[in-house]
């Protein structure tokens, strides 16, 4: 099953449930992210960037962020771990265009974005925690690439599967990816059967006793 098929089959909450059952109990963010371009689901592999605030002139503005977008591979989701900073809008139209040209499927920004109408017209998936018209130059910059980063206590590692939707963001570690995907698909199918039984008049408790999902 490819990423697009998987995206249409599963969702953040069911992946989180399966990870919980396997003992991975802190793989989903609790802070609110907004789908600023109106595309409600995103699934791909983490391509990570770590950002820091600046309070002086940047001698090499944009250097590592351009390296990040240009080094994206097909199927990547670029993770911008900026600590939720509202100092600037670190992501916009030009970075989206460059990232897409490299095969990037979308971006998750723990911080501000801008050029929202233009990114919406591009139909480029953007999940972020704020919007901000200020340019990042001399305000924020990428300080490291392709390293483990943390957002809301959740570790995002390069190559891990990441999914975002209206419920939040979840990261599936590579070492349990196959197991999680198989169990999530099975759970979705069981939930569909349970929902249909309840719609047809079965009491919720009876449905839970019979099908074992909620």
The token pair that represents 65 in the structure block: 């962020």
**Sign of the Cα pseudo-torsion (112, 171, 106, 81, in order):** positive
123 assigned ligand-binding residue: no
175 assigned ligand-binding residue: no
Which residue blocks in the chain are alpha helix, DSSP H? 3-9, 12-21, 63-70, 93-101, 116-122, 177-199, 204-211
> How many angstroms separate the CA atoms of 61 and 72, rounded?
19
CA dihedral 158, 74, 96, 58 (to 10 degrees): 40
The owner of tokens 């600046």 is 54
The owner of tokens 């609110």 is 32
Q: What is the DSSP letter of 28?
A: B
115 assigned ligand-binding residue: yes
> How many angstroms separate the CA atoms of 131 and 115, rounded?
9
94 assigned ligand-binding residue: yes
14 burial via Cβ count (<10 Å: 0-12, 13-18, 19+)? buried
78 assigned ligand-binding residue: no
65 assigned ligand-binding residue: no
Three-state DSSP at 134 gives coil
Residue ranges of the binding site for substrate? 92-95, 114
Residue ranges of the binding site for Mg(2+)? 115
Residue ranges of the binding site? 92-95, 114-115
């Amino acid at each position: 099953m490819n990423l697009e098929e998987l995206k249409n089959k599963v969702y953040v909450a069911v992946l989180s449930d399966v990870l919980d059952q396997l003992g991975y109990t802190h793989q989903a963010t609790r802070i609110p992210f907004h789908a600023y371009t109106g595309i409600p689901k995103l699934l791909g592999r983490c391509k990570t960037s770590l950002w820091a605030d600046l309070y002086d002139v940047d001698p090499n503005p944009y250097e590592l962020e351009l390296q990040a977008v240009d080094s994206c591979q097909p199927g990547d989701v670029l993770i911008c771990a900026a600590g939720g900073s509202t100092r600037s809008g670190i992501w916009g139209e030009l970075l989206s265009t460059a990232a897409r040209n490299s095969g990037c499927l979308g971006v998750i920004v723990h911080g501000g974005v801008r050029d929202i109408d233009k990114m919406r017209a591009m139909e480029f998936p953007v999940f972020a925690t704020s919007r901000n018209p200020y340019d990042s130059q001399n305000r924020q910059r990428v300080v490291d690439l392709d390293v483990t980063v943390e957002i809301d206590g959740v570790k995002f590692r390069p190559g891990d599967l990441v999914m975002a939707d209206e419920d939040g963001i979840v990261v599936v570690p590579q070492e349990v990816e196959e197991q999680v995907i198989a169990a999530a698909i099975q759970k979705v199918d069981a939930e569909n059967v349970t929902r249909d039984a309840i719609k047809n008049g079965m009491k919720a408790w009876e449905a839970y006793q019979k099908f074992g999902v909620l």
